[in-house]
Structure formats: C-alpha cells, structure tokens
Amino acid sequence: MSDKKTVNKKQKTKIVKKVPRKRGSPRTRKCLMIETKDNRKFFTHERNYEQLIEFANTVGAEISVVKTREEALDLSPLAAAISDSNHTQDVEPKYDIIETKIKKIQKTRNKLLGNAQKIRAFVRGKFESGDVVSLAEIKKKFSSYRLSSACFCNHISKAKKELEMSGARVAKLGPGKYQKVK
C-alpha cells in the first residue's frame, strides 16, 4: 500500500512516497547491549545505564550502545533473564555497535580484594593522621577502579567502624566528609 502525494508550492512539485513497513517487523532502535562473560547478549533501554554500571563492573560484563531490532527489556525481566543460565537466544541477534561504554574486564577475586585493601588502607591512614576523609577525594583518587559511590561509602564505613571498635570517635563534618575526633 504505497500512497503518492503531490504537493504544489510556487510551481514546485514534490512527490512524497509513503512506504509501509511490513507488519510484525520492529523498527531499529538505539539501546544498550549487555554482553556477559559467557557471551550471552541482552538488550535494554538506554535509561537503565546508571543502574547497570556497578553490575557490569562486578561481573565483568560489557555494555555497548547498539542499533538493533531486538526487543529491549526493562530492568526486572532483564535481571531474571541474566540470572537464568538457561536463557539463550535461538538465533544470534543482529546489531550494529555505535559505542562501547564499558569494556569486559577480567577481574579476579584476588585483584578485587587487593584494590579494596588499598582503598581501606588509604582511608585508615587519613583518619589516623587527623585529616578530613572526603568521599569526593577518594572517588577522584581511585577513579581508575571504576567503582560506584556506594562502594566507596562502604569502605569509609568499614574504616569508621574499625576505628570506633578501637575506642576512637569519628565525627561527620558534612555530606561525605568525616574526621577522627581527638
């Protein structure tokens, strides 16, 4: 069903053809593709990127912006699909990669624990020297580790608890800022 429409504007004739798309074939759309370590691919909306950063860093998944005709999942069905190890696609999905946001990282548990030790030692050192421990400063110093704010907050909290267990007091000076009280 193709319609031809002729428009006359000051002696100019323009022919506009409307080509209908086939029923049942979805349009290509821009979305995120998550590729897990076992090379399974999942598609979700771009608006979910912020929620998927920590997941990708933790499990070593790759997140890319792609153009595809595949169905984009919301967060709940996406989580269920990723958790189900039997969830596979019958046909390899077709897509064009526009940009890779997070590359696959092969982190070992020992490397993760080593990074945690470095962060915690830095925070402890700042507390013991009497300096102000700032979340912003820690995030900036260890930005290459690609961790979330919540993860850095956990390191500060653990160091605070260790100090408080040893009898020291830690005061909160403002949002994300702490200092050992003498």
What pLDDT sits at residue 17? 59
Domains delineated in the chain: 29-102 (no CATH), 109-181 (1.10.10)
pLDDT in tens, 19-34: 555 555 568 889 999 9
Predicted local distance difference test score (pLDDT) of residue 2: 46
> Can you tell me the distance from the alpha carbon of 108 to that of 106, in angstroms, rounded to the nearest whole number?
6
Residue 116 carries which side chain, given as an amino acid letter? Answer: A
Q: Which residue would you say has higher pLDDT here, 90 or 170?
A: 170
Residues 6+ apart with CB under 8 A from 147: 54, 57
Tokens read off for 89: 């696609």
- Kindly indicate the confidence band of residue 1, based on its pLDDT and cuts at 50, 70 and 90: very low
Query: pLDDT for 41-52, tens place per residue?
Result: 999 999 999 999
Dihedral sign from CA coordinates of 138, 141, 145, 146: positive
Q: Residue 170 pLDDT more than 60?
A: yes
Q: Give me the pLDDT at residue 147, please.
A: 85
pLDDT digits (tens, 9 = 90+) for 124-161: 999 999 999 999 999 999 988 878 888 999 999 999 99
Query: CA-CA distances (angstroms) from residue 125 to 116, 131, 156, 165?
Result: 14, 9, 11, 16
Taking only the tens place, the pLDDT of each residue in 69-122 is 999 999 999 999 999 888 877 788 899 999 999 887 666 778 888 999 999 999
| Contact (Cβ atoms closer than 8 angstroms) between residue 73 and residue 89 | no
Q: In whole angstroms, what is the distance from residue 55 CA to residue 59 CA?
A: 6
Q: Which residue has the higher pLDDT, 87 or 14?
A: 87
| pLDDT recorded at residue 55 | 86
Q: Give me the residues paired with residue 125 across strands.
A: none
